[in-house]
A = this chain, B = another copy of it.
Amino acid sequence: MSRSSLFSAVTQIRPTAAGFFDVDVHPDWSVGGKPNGGYLLAMLGRAAAMSSERPHVTAASAHFLRAPDPGTAVVETEVLRHGRTVSQVRARLLQGGRPAVEALLVTGTLDESATPRWSGGVPDPEMAAFDICVRLPPSTPGGGAVPILSQVDVRVDPATLDFQCGRPTGHGEIRGWLRIPGEDRLDAAALLYAVDALPPATFDIEFTGWVPTVELTAYVRALPVPGPVRVLQRARLIDGDRVDEVSFVWDAAGRLVAQATQLAAIRFA
């Protein structure tokens, strides 16, 4: 295991052969004993970028098959198409020979000089300043252990903090800031974690046990400026035993840098 639990260390990929990497699933980047899904996807993003020799992962669709245990694991990649400017890659994380996560990813080069041409469909939530937001403790409102919240600094806007006090508002929205120690400027792979860093927005509807992700699709749209990022997590529909949530990540300058949708399993008492 890595000694350091900094993001750069816990997402490190060590090439062992073409398309094969050793990785360590760190015990502290977890929620109730299960590694965070976005954290695992960040490792697949790094592996996809390295395998395709592109600097940035720009899209990722991950299907979570089973939660790996903390400890060593293997990542395998296959470049499905290597185009002129982008590549498409399949990546999977396996432990003990069994697949835990499989993802399809797009890699390429995000143009640092580009500016958004149109953003009329992006939500524009008010967000309290970083210093006014409240840092979440490493615990759910129900007292469950969330060790990852000791690793990263998730600060929730007081306007959406009722869930943590045991009073969900029914709006299904949580927003706030994310700062990853050691990462002053999040890279593209770190944004794959950022989209999954906030508590489930369903906690603002009805508190349940953990809400395991079945599918997560993230698009990385730009590289953030230095500083913490703003994150909005919003539930859309709970039907049967499934909920879908969307998330948006803006950099400190207010530019949308990543967005995601996920489908998760939810059980009510």
> Which residues of A are at the interface with B, using a C-beta cutoff of 8 A?
58-59, 61, 63, 65-66, 80-81, 88, 90, 99, 102-104, 106, 110-111, 114-122, 170-173, 205-206, 214-215, 217, 219, 221-222, 234-240, 242, 244, 246, 256, 259, 261, 263, 268
Contact = CB atoms under 8 A, between A and B. Distances in A.
Chain A interface, DSSP helix/strand/loop, else mixed: strand
B63 A117 contact: no
A217 B122 contact: no
B65 A111 contact: no
A59 to B, nearest CB: 5
Given A88-B102, A119-B237, A120-B172, 8 more contacts: A61-B104, A63-B104, A80-B99, A104-B215, A110-B240, A117-B268, A121-B173, A244-B259
Given A65-B81, A111-B240, A261-B217, A235 B121 contact: yes
Contacts of A102: 80, 88, 90, 104
A217 B61 contact: yes
Given A80-B65, A172-B121, A261 B261 contact: yes
A215 B119 CA distance: 19
A118 to B, nearest CB: 4
A86 to B, nearest CB: 8
A172 B116 CA distance: 15
Contacts of A104: 61, 63, 102-104, 215
Contacts of A119: 236-239
B217 A217 contact: yes
Contacts of A114: 239-240
Nearest to A58: B242
